[in-house]
Amino acid sequence: MSDSLEGFLLVDKCEGPSSFGIVHQLRKLTKVKRIGHAGTLDPFASGLLILALGRSYTRQISRFQKQDKVYEMTIRLGTSTPSLDPETPIDKQTDRPIYNDAQLLSICQQFIGDITQVPPVYSAKHINGKRSYALAREGKAVEPDPINVRIDSIELGHIARDENAAIDTLDLRVRCATGCYMRSLARDIAIALGTLGYCSTLRRVQSGTFKAADALPSQTMDLDVISAALFTSYR
């Protein structure tokens, strides 16, 4: 195989590998050198990756990058980590809040619309020419500039409470414009609830009209399946 194997591919990334790791896996399988993706997923996250194989298709990848996204996430309350996800150890703890479902929904809805977010310090944002996460790993103080984002909807899912009704975890389904940081949203919702929190699980279930349910599981990719799953027109 060579760059003659071209097109777009939907992959359902499992937890663990990085987005670049999936690209590297595809390069080994297909021998196609030029492969790009339409939006990074952190290693702890799972879900939809839209990939482009071949020069003529990687040139079109920006059309996918601008699409609205849908995520399913779990916020763990009462604790936090430096990276706002499970990839760094818990470094802070506090009391967990007590709210009923209606109160939770009301607080979450405060984040719907055009809002300002401060990106996680463990992010790929550039600060003085270096990646924010690289500075954070060096132990340097990092202060990312706020960004403007848009969140269209937040739906409550499962709410896990302890015997005293304190909330342990909160599941949300979020529809948003591209560029939103779900880890920042987890942190900010926790703060609004009067506690700490981090994003303990994250899954991208949709990008535009494309869904993770229709994607090729990253654990089961082989050349024949990849070839059959490629499509060549934006749909």
Residues with a catalytic annotation lie at 42
Tell me how far the alpha carbon of residue 127 is from its chain's centroid.
21
DSSP 3-state of 220: helix
Written as six digits, the tokens of 25 are 């896996």
Rounded Cα distance, 35 and 24, in Å: 9
The answer to whether the Cα torsion of 65, 71, 74, 79 is positive or negative is positive
What 8-state DSSP symbol labels residue 41?
A: -
User: Max Cα separation, the chain?
Assistant: 61
Residue 138, burial from CB neighbour count under 10 angstroms (0-12, 13-18, 19+): exposed
